[in-house]
Structure formats: C-alpha cells, structure tokens
Structure 1
Amino acid sequence: MAEAARARAEAARDGLGPASARAGGDLVFSAIAFVLALLPRLYVAIAWAREPVWDGHYYDFGARRIAAGLGYSDDLIVGGQPVWHPWCHYPVGYSGFLGLVYRLFGAGPHVATVANAVTGALLVVVVHRLARYATTPGRARAAALLAALSPGLIVYAALLMTEPLAALGLVTAPWLLARDAARGRVIRGAVLAGAALGLTALVRPQSLLCAPALALLTWRAWRGPGEVAGGASAAWRRGALAAALSAATALAVVAPWTIRNCRVMDGCALVSTNGGWNLAIGAFPRATGRFETLRAGDGCPIARGQVAQDRCWMTEGLRWIKDDPARWLALIPRKLGFTFDHESFPIGYLGEANPAAWPEERRAAGRRVLTASHLGLLSVAALGVVALPRLRPWRALAAQLLALAAVLGLVAWGVLGDEHAFWPLAVAIPVIAALPLPGRPANGGVVGYLAFAVASVALTHAVFFGEDRYHMVVTPALCVLAACALRRGETAPAAGSRSGLSTGLFRERG
C-alpha cells in the first residue's frame, strides 16, 4: 500500500498518471503547437511549391487518376487507343490520400501541398501527445517544439512525397495504444493501433515491421493506481497479445488492397511491386549503396507484368547477394551513410522543380542548414536511451557512464572523422535501448518502440539501398528521443513492491 501510494504521488507530481492522461492534459499546448507548426509549413507549401518532380510526379499522377474514378492505374496505348491498365508499382497510400483531397477540394496547384502542411502540423500534435507517455510534460512540449521547428519537416510541406504521412502513422499507432492502455483498454488500443499501422503500411509497407514493438507499450499498463497485475509473465502475455492483435488488424486493413492486386494484376502483391527492384538496386554489380537506375541489360530484359518483373528482380537480387555476399555486406555502411549522414533531398527536389529560384549557392546553403539540424537532432536523440548518471548504486553509475561515453564518442567520430559518419548513432540507439544496463532510463515502452522504429529504418536500408529522404519517417521519433535525453534512471524497487514494476507505465522523474 505504501509503495502504491508513493507511485501515485510521483505520477501526480510529474503529471504522468492515468488520471491526467484521461483528462487529456496539455490540450491547449497541443493546439498552440499545431498553429506554430502549421504557419511555416503553409508558407512553404504556397510560396515554394511547383510542379511535382521525381517520385512526386507519380504520386500526383496516381492521385489524379483515383480522384477521377479511374482507380490506381495508367493507360496503355494499344492500336492507337488508350487501354486502362492497373498499377501498383508504388504503394497506393499516399496517392489514395491525395486522391481523396483532390476529390474534395479539386486538384489546384497548392491543394496537395496545403494538405501536406496540415499533415505536418497534425504530426507535431501527435508527437506531443505520444511524448507525454514517455517523459514529463515539459520534455513532451520540447519534443513538440523540436518537431514543429524542424527545418527538414517544414520544407517537406512543399514536396509531394510520402514521408510525413508515413511518419504520422508511425507515431499515431503507439499513441493510440499507450493512451488506451493507460485507461485499461488494451484490446481497444491494440485494434486502433493496428488500424493506424495498416493504413501506414499502404503508404510505406515496411512500417509493418514496427508491429512487434507495440508490445512494449503494454508491459507496464495501468491496472490500478501504481500496480501491475500478474507480474512479469502476465506482462509478457499481455504484450504478445497486443502485438498479435495489432498485427492482425494491420493485415486486415491491408488485405482488401492485396486482394485487389491478386485480382487485377498479373500476380499477388501485398502492397506494391517495388520490393524486388529495391533489393536489386542495392545488390546488382553496379550498386553504389544509393539509388541507381536498373536497365534491362542488368538482368530482366523481357517486358512482362509488374508483379512478374518485380519477382524477376527479386530473384536476381538474391542471386547477386548469394554470389558475392562479402561485396553486399561491404555496401551496408555506405547505404546507412547515405540514409543518415546528411539531409539534402528536400533541397534537391525544390531545385529540380524550380531551378531559377534555387541556384547552386542557395541549394548548398539549404543543404547545410538541413544537414546540421538533422545531425544535431540525431546526436541528442542518441542520449534519449542513456540515463543521467547517478552516484549510487555504482553498477548503474558505471553502466550509464559507459553508455554516455559510447554516444559521445560516436558524436566526436562523426564531427572529427574524415567521412563525418553519423550513421553509427542510428545503430547505437536501438542497441543501447535493448541492453539491460543497470540504471537505464525509466520509460513505459514508448522509448523502446521509437528505438525499434529507428532500427527498422536502418535494417530496411541496409538490405536495400540508402537515400537521406528515408530517415525523415523517424525524424519525429528522434524529436521525442532528444527530448528524453539524460533522464533519470530506474531505481531499485522498494521492499515489498511487486516485481519492480509497481510504478507503472508513466513513471518518469527526469
């Protein structure tokens, strides 16, 4: 009873208990953060946007076809006549989102980018709401401000690209589960999180990799003030159930699109038919670690359906890896470097869309600003899995000093090294978060989920190929982790507490 009372008092002091979560505290700040995020994004969306280029051209094309009632398709010219032809090379989610926007508001020159601006502002709100389940209210506000003022996320409002919408789904899913777990509604939260993750998978299929990490959000779910019922084994069972339910719901959301593909394409595809292409790009003899254009002479010269073509490239990619695994493995650091070591894609996109407004000098300045802000955020985010060292107990002090030294050493390596490699920090985040180090930061699974999300991006692009735009989906996660930097660590449970988990999902004192 005394331990439960102490837990309630600490949760109330920090504003992190279930009562404050149910009351939706800090809603006023969420609204302010929305406006603060929306204004610069609206400016960029209106003043900087031009005709979509690169992949944005295809997303826009697909959206216009969907809005016109033609589905996700293009037209093939057969005998001089256009013939409707189904399409699924790119994931349908972002084009479907824009198609709905175009259907409601028309396809004017700034409709899509204004929708992007609103999406970016909503992303900031969800970052704030999610961060409240990871740390103190003040730190949660800092996470929202980091996301609201992120130069890269602001500039992205002018780009017709998928990353902000995918990022919104990646943080909405854990927020829904954490919110409902705090109210004792784990099953409902798991279903809602799964639905959000399924919609996100239609935008970015590899988002499904994050489904198992949702289990982390339920291990310390509130079952009463400061109590967890059933001990560690019950926590594991509850986590496994929540993850399985979320994954099943996500697949159920994706299933109608998969059935459509099986029905109208030349074969079945879960979401899209670019997985084989991407594997081949990261493995073929001319691979450099980043995007390179595949040619028919590289291995799949025969024109065939999209699914068959993708399967051909998948087969070729696996063969190239099997024939020379050492070469493929040696490309992984370069792939991760292209993904995490800089942030230049948004400026390149704007320069391609409007060369007159973006001469090389201005592009270079823009790349420097975005890269500096990204690398600074990544460096501080790595401290989100390190606790503020405490003098006692000494084992915890030693472990956290070692973790702190490792992160600071990697930062110094990135700053002072000849290659300025910061990608090891992205690898260190999930590794340190997973290690059972004494005195590690206390959290209810949100930080673990976010670290897992960073790992999913690193793993995906280590296998396929790297480009800096791919890290944008975890920029909001990095904002939350940065706000959690050097929190106070876990302390040994008081005598009589049950399995050391009695402080529950929301205990955070730093």
Structure 2
Amino acid sequence: MDVMALKYLKNNKTIIAILLAAVALRILWMVFIPTVPVSDFLLYHKGALSILSGKGYRIYGYLSAYEPIGYSAFLVTIYFLFGSSIIAAKIANIVLSVVNILLIMAIMKQTGFNKKVILLAAALFSVMPIQIMYTSVVSTEVLFTTSLLLITYVLFSNLKYKDILLGAIIGIAALIKPYMMIFQFLIFVYYIFTEFNLKLALKSLMLITVMMAIVIAPWTIRNYTIFHKFIPISTNGGYNLYVNNNPYATGAWQDPFKIPNSPLKIYKHKNDEFWNEVKVDEEGKKLAYNWILHNPVDFVKVGFKKLANVFVVPDNAFWATGYLKDQKHLPQSVYSVINIITLIIHMVFSIAVLIYLLDRISTLFREHKLGKIHIFIILLMAFYAAISFIFEGQPRYLFPLWSYYIMAALAVAESVIKKYRGGKASYERS
C-alpha cells in the first residue's frame, strides 16, 4: 500500500481496533479449538517436513507432484524460520488475515467506496465466523485469499509494470491452485470491457503469461526431471476431473478407486495409500473427457450440483471443527450453533450477492457501462462458477470469494441507502 494509505491507517483508531479484534478472535479460536490437519491438509504439512528433511517433496514417501507445491513451500518458509510446528502455520494464517483486511480496505479505497463502508467491510471480515475458523486450518484457503486480493489490488493500481507484477503473483497463486494458470484470460476480458482496447488487452495477456511461466518454470523443470513428462504444476487434474465426471458422479468428492468398475483402480498401490499419479492423471483426463463428450446432458446436471455445493450449501467449517487434538470432537451443541450461524450468514450474503449481480448485469446491458470493480467481481464469480462446474463442488471452495461477497453486499446496501436519500453511491460517482 502507498504512503498515504499507511498514514491513513496510523491515524485511524477504528482500523487499529478492528485489526486487534480480528487478531484476538482468531487467537481465542486457535487456543480453544485445537484443530489438527487431516486429508490434503496433512499432506501439505508432511510435504513441507519432507523438503526440510532434505528428501525433496514427497507424498506417502514418493517424490510427487500430486499436491501443488505452493502451500507446502509457504510452510517450508514458516517452519524454517519459526520451527516445524502446526502452531507456527496457524499464527501465519492470523498474520495473513490481518493482511487480507488491509488489502480489502485498500481495494475499496482504490475503487471509490466511502470511508464508512470500507470500515464496515473490514469489521465484517474481522468477525466473520468462517474467516476466524479457517485460521486454525493448515490449508491453502487463507494464503490463496491473500494472493487473490493482492492480484486485485495490483490490477487497480497505477504501477508502471503492473502486468509483470500480476504475472508473478498469478504464477505464485497457480502454484497454490493450478486453475490460476488461466486467470490471465479473466484479466484479458476485464481489459476488453473496461478499456475497449484489444491491443492493450493482448499485450497484458502476453506479459502476464510469460511472467507466470517464468515463475512456475523451476517447478515444471523439476517435474519433467522426475517424471519425464511435461507437468506444469500438478498431477491431480485428471484425478479430480474423473472424480466429478463419471457415470456415478454426485457433484462432490468421492474416492476414484472405489467408483464401481473404476478403470483407475489398477493404478492404486496395493501396499500403501498412494497410486501411480502420472497414469491416474493421464487416464483420468481421458475417461472424464470421453464421459463428457458422450453424456453432455448428465455433465450439465452434475455441473449444477457442483455449483450448488459451492454457492448454495453453507460452509460450516467442518475442517476447522471436525478433527481436534487428542482425537477430541467439538460438542454437538456448539457444532449446531456454528451451523445455524453460518447458515444465516450464508443466506443473507447469498441473497445480497444475487441482487448485486442482477442489478449490475442489467445496468451493464442497459447503460453499456459499469464501474471497473463491478466488472471484475462479476468476471471473478463467473470464473469460479466455470471452474466449479467442470471440476468439483465443495462449500469451502467459496472461501476466497468471501472478500468480494462482502464488497458486493455493501455495494447493494449503499445503493439502497443512497437511492432513498438521493444521489449516487460513492463508488458510482468515481
């Protein structure tokens, strides 16, 4: 953030109070709800420990490219500096949460929201249960949210070489979530809608893509050296495609090796929990593409189930409450209260975001113009919907969008207030 923004922060006691409240709530949750990593989250942790031990990035003892390296690499940095403790990873999440609040405020300041709305957004993010709960989970969610917000901040900045910087950040984000390898096309469309300049959009696309490729190149070279195959980031693409695009697909995760008559079963190791990741990646893609080609109607039906799992089903932060230290479990009464709270919050924000999208899209068609932040948010949500439609639907996949949900909901609220008071909302005047 610029010098003015830092000065603004230093002189604003409300912001400091919001940040302190955010930290305090997250520390309390971390202390009283001692979440332990399981599933993919445990693999990220063990992968980081494997690197620190000098054995390279291994999963179940095998040199691997199944789990993207980005989050494990982040953990390596944290563990190297502060010790190989899950507590260190959780504290890092708390720090990142503070950074995320500052980035949300900076983005909203860039795009013309007034001070009161910005402070309200920061306050909402700081006390939102889902944001608090996930700080105790050793997972990609908080870090990836930081990268996405940083991309947004740079996009709306006036930096001279911002496309190169965007390419670097998107490259890092892709090492966390491989689908970000195509995010530059969202930015390309964004420039088309906002600048009406094809040359500028193509130049941006080229610079971002080249820089992103440079960032991920060392990992790609490592994968080629080990597997003798071009694997830009991860081998889990075919795995995930097949899990969610097969005759028994439900729109949610299922064990691909236990799907009836699964052709991938032959690649599962008999003596441990792993599999031939390269063959599963190759065959999974072939099987999924073939099923989609021959079952387009079923593909669409399952696709909408995936969307429902992401955008309709509330995330009760099961990963932050279901697996606790010493094999303890959260009391059912507490878990029920959490479910009710997350359900209400999810419903309120979902309705607000739906109103926001209908209003902004209709405005775009009616007036052929729209504020840049709104174009970006619409494209971002469309991007996530497309990814979810093709791959998998889990409630936690909505997590990176909550920052934008807050912005959208407050934009709706401010528009309604301004409409009844007369005049336009602050960001509409900019």
TM-score norm. by structure 2 comes to: 0.85
Alignment of 1:397-412 (within 5 A): 403-404=358-359
Q: 1:313 aligns with which of 277, 284, 305?
A: 284
Residue identity matched to 1:23: M
1:289, CA displacement in angstroms?
Answer: 0.8
Change (3 A) 1:109 1:335: closer
Structure 1 gap ranges (5+): 1-19, 77-84, 222-231, 386-402, 405-428, 490-505
Residue identity matched to 2:341: V
Q: 2:316, 2:342 within 8 Å by CA — same for their partners in 1?
A: no
1:336, CA displacement in angstroms?
Answer: 0.9
Alignment of 1:62-461 (within 5 A): 62-74=47-59, 76=61, 85-138=62-115, 139-181=117-159, 185=160, 188-215=161-188, 235-295=197-257, 297-303=261-267, 305-353=276-324, 356-385=328-357, 403-404=358-359, 432=361, 435-438=364-367, 442-443=370-371, 445-461=372-388
1:266, CA displacement in angstroms?
Answer: 4.7
Aligned pair count? 406
SS of structure 2 residue aligned to 1:71: coil
Normalized per residue, the structure richer in helix is 2
Change (3 A) 1:340 1:305: same
Change (3 A) 1:374 1:244: farther
Q: Deviations over 1:110-134 (max 9, x none)?
A: 1111111111221111111111222
| Bigger shift: residues 238-247 or 271-280 | 238-247
CA distance in 1 between partners of 2:315 and 2:190 (Å): 34
Residue identity matched to 1:485: V
Residue identity matched to 2:345: S
Change (3 A) 1:219 1:31: farther
Residue identity matched to 1:372: I
CA distance in 2 between partners of 1:69 and 1:33 (Å): 41
CA distance in 2 between partners of 1:68 and 1:300 (Å): 32
Residue identity matched to 2:291: W
SS of structure 1 residue aligned to 2:165: helix
CA distance in 1 between partners of 2:409 and 2:52 (Å): 40
| Bigger shift: residues 267-276 or 132-141 | 132-141
Structure 2 gap ranges (5+): 268-274, 417-425
| Bigger shift: residues 311-320 or 478-487 | 478-487
1:455, CA displacement in angstroms?
Answer: 1.4
Q: 1:213, 1:448 within 8 Å by CA — same for their partners in 2?
A: no
Change (3 A) 1:328 1:169: same
Residue identity matched to 1:344: D
Residue identity matched to 1:509: R
Residue identity matched to 1:45: M
Percent identity between the aligned chains? 22
Q: Deviations over 1:194-231 (max 9, x none)?
A: 2111111111111233323335776799xxxxxxxxxx
Change (3 A) 1:447 1:433: farther
1:319, CA displacement in angstroms?
Answer: 1.6
CA distance in 1 between partners of 2:382 and 2:297 (Å): 22
Query: Which structure has the larger Rg over C-alpha atoms?
Result: 1
Q: 1:466 aligns with which of 364, 377, 393?
A: 393
Q: 2:190, 2:379 within 8 Å by CA — same for their partners in 1?
A: no
TM-score norm. by structure 1 comes to: 0.73
SS of structure 2 residue aligned to 1:300: helix
Does residue 27 in structure 1 map to residue 4 in structure 2?
A: no
1:314, CA displacement in angstroms?
Answer: 0.9
1:473, CA displacement in angstroms?
Answer: 1.4
CA distance in 2 between partners of 1:191 and 1:272 (Å): 24
Change (3 A) 1:435 1:189: same
Change (3 A) 1:22 1:118: closer
Q: What residue is the counterpart of 1:389 in the other structure?
A: none
Change (3 A) 1:51 1:22: closer
CA distance in 1 between partners of 2:368 and 2:122 (Å): 27
CA distance in 2 between partners of 1:38 and 1:244 (Å): 40
Q: Deviations over 1:355-403 (max 9, x none)?
A: 6441333222212212221232232233445xxxxxxxxxxxxxxxxx4
